[in-house]
Amino acid sequence: MAQPARLGRGGRWGRGRLSPVAPMEPTAEQAARWRPWMRRALQLAALGQGRTSPNPMVGCVVLDSSGQLVGEGFHAQAGHPHAEVGALGQAGARAEGGTAIVTLEPCCHQGRTPPCSQALLAAGVGRVVVAMVDPDPRVAGQGLAQLQDAGVEVLAGICGQEARHLNRAFIHRVSTGRPLGLLKWAMSLDGRTALPNGSSQWISGPEARTWVHRLRGQVDAVIVGGGTLRADDPLLTSRGLGPREPLRVVLSQTLDLPPQRKLWDQSLAQTLVVHGPDASAQGRQQLDQLGVERLELDPCTPVTVLEALAQRGCNQVLWECGPALAAEALGQGCVQQLAAVIAPKLLGGVAARTPLGDLGLVDVNEAQQWGLQGVERLGADWLWQLNNSPRAIQS
């Protein structure tokens, strides 16, 4: 993979390739002028939530030379036209000499769609205002360099924090080679996720379960372990409340899995079983006969699973696993966000199950500190959301 280009002053580098040029930072007056339009572009970008992976969510607003709105667009789905193309298509000839406000630097490479930087130049816009530079190594400032080299005025950094937050999952995958990981659990007020006898349905109320269904529709994959599959027989779909169904992933070292489970019915959503090299021949044969896709990894760990999912275009995954796998995922740095639904119930029981297995701590001062991002009410329950990824989430 090519290394990200460094932003800096200059003309061109060798072999005619454009050198990324530092875009002009807006003055306070310019920021005030373009901020409302950029916020509109961000609203448009969010309409692609759950549909654009492996691409980012992008919105675009086009104004004519007098400052009147003449076009809007957003990236609706991977492989479909980008936001700039949609907005320029609405604007037509009125885009000439106008301004394009885009939430992310226009792409400058040929992918499944043509470069947006060239579309902007062909439309004759005189100014491009972006919220942030694209961290994708194929772009990384070169799209802005093409525009500047052609004489287009470029401003960058309007609503940059909001843009980075919107595309935190995309930024994380591009920066690390792994999807952003969100670990979710529901527990009682005394920290139990099940009674000693295993009973766990339902700790949370209907409003919290609806929230989870919507969340599944926004992520690219939901991951569980073999233990959760055996004990709970989950469906792991959005129940039709999301824009599309996630890939359902089962991580099982041995493939000691029941022959009848809801995940084996793929009429609603696709299922992928990831296993290690020591998986049983019987388990392999059973999945093959059921028509369930499986993937062998050596080693088969949370890290290697995420790397494989990144190769499949996943920007964000949801861990809905048991305590042992959850602890392993945390220990390997595969979780950047936590979502804990806390029900006002007391379950008790020394042997009752808790959300996490052993994290290997010997001193309470070694415990990782998570940043609280928000608390909200879900019916009778409370949702706590936290993160530990300043670069991808807080920035």
Residue written as tokens 């003449």? 70
Strands (E) located in the chain: 59-63, 69-74, 99-102, 127-130, 153-156, 180-188, 221-225, 247-251, 271-275, 293-296, 316-319, 337-343, 371-378, 381-387
First to last CA, the chain: 25
Catalytic residue, candidates 72, 84, 105, 245? 84
Q: Are 287 and 273 in contact (CB under 8 A)?
A: yes
Residue 371 has pLDDT above 90, yes or no: yes
**Residue 393's pLDDT band (cuts 50, 70, 90):** very low
- Is 296 catalytic? The answer is no
- Please give the Cα distance from 94 to 243 (Å, whole number): 33
**Residue 270's pLDDT band (cuts 50, 70, 90):** very high
**Residue 109's pLDDT band (cuts 50, 70, 90):** low
Q: Are 319 and 348 in contact (CB under 8 A)?
A: no
Predicted pLDDT at 112: 64
* Model-wide pTM > 0.85: yes
pLDDT, average across residues 124-141: 88
DSSP β-ladder status, 293-296 and 271-275: parallel
Predicted pLDDT at 17: 42
Q: Are 248 and 270 in contact (CB under 8 A)?
A: yes
pLDDT in tens, 142-195: 888 889 889 999 999 999 999 999 999 999 999 999 999 999 999 999 999 988
Predicted pLDDT at 117: 86
Helix H or strand E encompassing 311? helix 302-311
Residue, of 225 and 22, whose pLDDT is higher: 225
Q: What angle do CA 349, 355, 357 make, to 5 degrees?
A: 95
What the chain holds in terms of domains, given with CATH numbers, is 14-166 (3.40.140.10), 178-359+366-394 (3.40.430.10)
Predicted pLDDT at 78: 84
Structure tokens that stand for 121 in this block: 């130049």
Percent pLDDT > 70 in the chain is 91
Among the ranges 3-17, 20-34, 72-86, 324-338, which has the highest mean pLDDT value? 324-338
Structure tokens that stand for 71 in this block: 């076009």
Residue 395 has pLDDT above 60, yes or no: no
Q: What share of the chain is helix, strand, coil (3-state, %, to 5)?
A: 30, 20, 45
Sorted by sequence, the CB contacts under 8 Å of residue 124 that are 6+ apart come out as 95, 96, 97
Measured in whole angstroms, how far is the alpha carbon of residue 172 from the centre of its chain? 8
pLDDT in tens, 64-83: 999 999 999 999 988 888 99
- Please give the Cα distance from 255 to 83 (Å, whole number): 43
**Residue 26's pLDDT band (cuts 50, 70, 90):** confident
Predicted pLDDT at 389: 54
| Rounded alpha-carbon distances, angstroms, from residue 94 to 68, 89, 180, 307, 338 | 10, 10, 40, 45, 46
pLDDT in tens, 239-267: 999 889 999 999 999 999 999 999 999 99
Percent pLDDT > 90 in the chain is 74
CB atoms within 10 A of CB 354: 15
Residue 139 has pLDDT above 60, yes or no: yes
